[in-house]
Structures are given as structure tokens and as C-alpha cells.
Amino acid sequence: MITANKGEWSELYALFKLLCDGELSAGDENLNKINNLIYPVIRILRQEHHHLFTYVPHKSEGIVEILRGEDVFQIPLQELRDITQFLLAELQKKQTASFTIPDVENFISRYQSNKIKAKSSAKSDIRIVIYDAKIGTMPELGFSIKSKLGKPSTLLNAGKTTNFIFEIKNICLTEKEIEDFNQLALPQPIIKSRIAHLKMLGADIKFSHLNNAVFENNLILLDSLLPKIMAEAIFKYYTSTLNSVKDIFNEISYENPMKYSFEHQHPFYQFKIKKLLCEIAIGMMPGTVWTGNEIDSTGGYLVIKEDGEIICYHLYHRHEFEEYLYNNTKFEMASKTKHDFGQLFLKDNKLYLSLNLQIRFK
């Protein structure tokens, strides 16, 4: 029997649902369909290990044609609708981390599929050929699948590569005093309390650099001030009650630490974070050199809503994609011990504190 988690089963649900609907709906920043951005689905491609499956919906004939190499299968649309509704109901009620769904497994075996998740090395979970009547083309678009039926997924995963290093000035501590400070029993959240305690001691806390030079240069590539702007955002997250990306950047825009001129109402901070979120979404990794030319088949997201409806966001409509990311992400604290942050440390006779960046969907 195949055991998979909600996210993995959701990949199969997205495939079934799109074939049943026969169309792909673009969304706004609030996960609502945009009525004039609905595209007919011509075919769907999904890589399973050594086999490429091609799914072609024929709504007028009431079937879905499935091609696997030289093998051709036909599934009645009504049967597909029935199993799609059944799968959605199972996903909505399951509480365990991973589980089997024998009826669905039996259904996909009818066309010689035995994988719930697309090939892990594939650059997108699913590829969809749509028809764009406005310009008369049939682009092939790649998507990652994000499901709101389970735990929200991360946009940017934490690691030591995502640590931002702040220098602690105006106070001098010995190694023993640093060790004692890191052991202080302070109120939760502990990092916020440590920063407050440092300020009480007269410390001046200034951003110094990123722990990983590649990630720092990736940010500089997008905007030379982006490392400092992101440091401001992270510091705001750890020292306030805010966690929404949108709320934090609205606050930073109001404070204007970079001293931009707002004479003509340019949205400096919001513009820059939206571009960064979009680059991360299409593949930028903290520890890997990013040139912007690596934009491959994964250019967007399919979001499965709690009610089972599917909304798409893609670079094909970059503005809507950026707005969705901006409005639906938050900062999150990862494991302090695993990623080695949140404590004072001494290096080259200078005192530092590292703060970690992780971004998750709401």
C-alpha cells in the first residue's frame, strides 16, 4: 500500500481536479478567482520516475485520455469526478501525518500509475498546457503545488545560510559573561527578551553581514540595499509582535530606515520584498548562486484551498503572483539549536548576535 502525507496526496488531487474542471483559474492576492483570467486546459504532464504521463481532458466526449509511452488509457470523466470528491473528503478529515487511501491507489493503477508524488528531481510538480485566447497561444506552464488542506508550507526554509549577523556595540563582555548571558532565565519569547536586556545594558545593535556570502550576494544582485532591508525586517520580527510580511514591511516603510524619498510615493520597500519573494518562489536558494537565468519550468504555484478549489499564480501574470506572495506569507522562528542562532558569540574580539530568516505561508 502507498503511504503519503497530505501534501503528497494533494498533488494527485490537483491533477484530478484540474482534469475534471478542464480549466485553470488565476487568482488575486486574496485567493479569489479573477473572472477574466480563466484558461482552458489542453493537457497536463506529470513525470513519475522513468515514465511521463500525459493527460488530455475531452469534456465533450466525457473522458480523459491518458498516455504513458505507447500505452493509451481512457477514464470516464464521471468516475474521475467521483474519485476526486472522495479524495477531497479523505484529505479534509485525515488527522494523521501520513496515511493510505486504497480506493485512490486502485484507481490510478488502472492506468499503470503507482506514484502519488511526482518525480522528486522534477523541477515542477505538474506541467499544464493552457490555451490563451487573448494572444492565441498554448504555453506550457510549470507549477509547484501548495495545499491549504494540511500544514502551511514554507516559502524559504531556514538554515545556517539564512542567519543574519548583528554586531553588539558599546558593551564589552568576557567569554564567561557571554556564557552567563546566554543562560539567563528570561521571559519568552527568549530572543526578544535577550535583545531587550542588551539594550538595557546600553548596547547598540547594528546589522553587520550575512552568515553566508552566497545568500548575501544573491540579495545584492536583486538590490544592493536588500541585505540591510531584510535585516531591518528580521529585527522587527524578533522585537515586536508582528509576523506578517506585509505588516512588517508596512511598518518599515513608515520608519524608512534607508532614508528613501517618498516625495512621489514610490513603494520602495514593498516593491523590493515582492521581487525577493517571487525570486525565492521560482527557485532562488540561499546557498546557491542565483543569476536570474535559472528560471525553469517552475514558474508558479497551484494553491488548493480548504474547500478544494484550485487557484493558480504564475510568472505569466507576475503582478498577481507577487501580490499573492506578499499578502500570504509570514516570518517564522525555526529551531534555534539546529540553525545556531539567538545567542551571543565572540569572533575576532567583536560581539555578535545572529538572527535567522524563515518564511512560511499563512
Instruction: List the single range of 218-232, 286-300, 302-316, 330-344 with lowest mean pLDDT.
Output: 286-300
Residue written as grid cell 511521463? 52
> Residues 67-92: what's their mean pLDDT?
97
Q: Which grid cell is 344?
A: 551571543
DSSP 302-337: EEE-TTS-EEEEEGGGHHHHHHHHHHSEEE----HH
State the pLDDT at residue 120: 65
- Provide the grid cell at 112: 499503470
Structural Rg of the chain based on CA atoms: 24
pLDDT bucket at 297, cuts 50 / 70 / 90:
very low
Looking at the predicted structure, is the pLDDT value of residue 73 above 90?
Answer: yes
Helix, strand, or coil (residue 35): strand
Q: Give residue 123's pLDDT.
A: 65
- pLDDT score of 216 more than 80: yes
Residue 12 CB partners (closer than 8 Å, separation 6+): 87, 104, 108, 116
Write out pLDDT tens, residues 93-106: 999 989 999 999 99
Task: Indicate the pLDDT class of residue 315, thresholds 50, 70 and 90.
Answer: confident
CA 170, 175, 180, 181 torsion: positive or negative?
positive
Phi, psi of 190 (to 5 degrees): -65, -40
Tell me the pLDDT tens digit for each residue of 142-190.
899 999 998 899 999 999 999 999 999 999 999 999 999 999 999 999 9
Q: What is the pLDDT of residues 247-294, one digit of tens each?
A: 999 999 999 999 999 999 999 999 999 999 999 998 899 999 998 775
Selected residue with higher pLDDT from 256 and 125: 256
- Beta-bridged to residue 115, according to DSSP, are none
Please provide the average confidence, as pLDDT, over all residues in the chain.
94
Output 59 or 316, whichever has higher pLDDT. 59
What are the residue boundaries of the structural domains of the chain, listed by start? 4-151, 156-292+325-361
Instruction: Work out the pLDDT band at 121, boundaries 50, 70, 90.
Output: low
Helix (H) or strand (E) holding 93: helix 77-93
In this structure, the strands spanning 33-48 and 140-147 are unpaired
In the block, cell 503572483 appears at 321
pTM for the predicted model, two decimal places? 0.90
Distances (CA, A) of 184 to 81, 337, 354: 59, 16, 17
Task: Give the side-chain half-sphere CA count within 13 A for 317.
Answer: 21
Query: Measuring CA to CA, which residue among 309, 301, 356, 299 is closest to residue 333?
Result: 356
